[in-house]
């Protein structure tokens, strides 16, 4: 077996190890083979001088199991009971965040509904005022002038209400969709901290 075949088999045998450990082992055996080849051995002899792959991979896994696992230094700072005590103690603060967000979304939804209703009202006023113009003109000229102004104002305000409703609705819907996930992620961060 040549060096390249040995390295490929080694990579297959250690693929369950952590990435950093795999890189370390591959570099180690690559250098060991290179050193032996520089000393004058052929690739096949250099590979044969190493332990068999089965024995080698078993020894590697045994060594990894025996090594003490370093714990994250932050996990020992605050015991679990203290974490939960702090979470419960600060719950009035972080429980209010979703409530406040929900209230803001409700107010925003109410504003969207108001825009839609006003837009429809302005549109109805413009159409009705347009059809009432002849009868009001014949009855009272000052009332006709006020009616024309109202119709023109309604024609001008109806599109603004509609465009505002149309522009803000997708953002409102996206906020409604993302708020539960955001609140849940904040809760998970608080629990993990």
Q: pLDDT higher for 130 or 193?
A: 130
HSE at residue 14, side-chain half, CA atoms within 13 A, is 28
Residue 128 CA to residue 140 CA, distance in Å, equals 17
For the chain, the distance separating the N- and C-terminal CA atoms, rounded to the nearest angstrom, is 51
Residue 38 CA to residue 65 CA, distance in Å, equals 33
Closest by Cα among 35, 56, 60, 55 to 45:
35
Cβ atoms of 147 and 132 within 8 Å: the answer is yes
Structure confidence at residue 64 (pLDDT): 59
Q: Indicate the pTM of the whole model.
A: 0.43
Show the tokens assigned to 100.
């406040």
Q: 96-100, 161-165, 176-180: which has the highest mean pLDDT? A: 161-165
Residue-wise pLDDT for 93-144, tens only, equals: 777 877 888 888 888 888 888 888 888 888 888 888 888 888 888 888 888 8
Residue 142 CA to residue 146 CA, distance in Å, equals 6
Residue 65 CA to residue 59 CA, distance in Å, equals 10
| C-alpha angle 38-41-35 in degrees, rounded to nearest 5 | 35
Q: pLDDT higher for 118 or 183?
A: 118
Where residue 190 falls among pLDDT bands split at 50, 70, 90?
low
Residue 38 CA to residue 186 CA, distance in Å, equals 57
Structure confidence at residue 193 (pLDDT): 60
Cβ atoms of 176 and 105 within 8 Å: the answer is yes
Alpha helices in the chain (DSSP H): 3-13, 19-38, 43-49, 53-66, 80-89, 91-139, 141-192
CB-CB neighbours of 50 under 10 Å:
15
Residue-wise pLDDT for 32-81, tens only, equals: 888 888 888 888 888 888 766 666 666 666 665 555 545 544 555 567 77
């Amino acid at each position: 077996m040549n060096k390249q075949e040995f390295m490929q088999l080694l990579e297959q045998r250690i693929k369950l190890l952590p990435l950093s450990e795999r890189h370390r082992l591959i570099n180690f055996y690559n250098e060991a083979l290179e050193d032996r080849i520089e000393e004058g051995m052929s690739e096949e002899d250099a590979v044969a001088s190493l332990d068999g792959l089965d024995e080698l991979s078993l020894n590697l896994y045994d060594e990894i199991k025996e090594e003490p696992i370093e714990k994250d230094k932050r996990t020992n700072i605050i015991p679990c009971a203290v974490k939960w005590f702090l979470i419960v103690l600060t719950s009035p603060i972080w429980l209010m965040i979703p409530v406040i967000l929900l209230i803001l979304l409700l107010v925003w939804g109410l504003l969207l509904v108001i825009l839609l209703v006003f837009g429809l009202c302005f549109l109805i006023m413009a159409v009705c005022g347009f059809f009432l113009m002849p009868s009001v003109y014949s009855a009272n000229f000052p009332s006709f002038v006020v009616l024309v102004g109202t119709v023109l104002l309604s024609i001008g305000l109806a599109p603004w209400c509609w465009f505002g409703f149309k522009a803000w609705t997708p953002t409102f819907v996206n906020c409604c969709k993302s708020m539960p996930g955001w609140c849940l992620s904040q809760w998970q961060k608080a629990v993990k901290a």
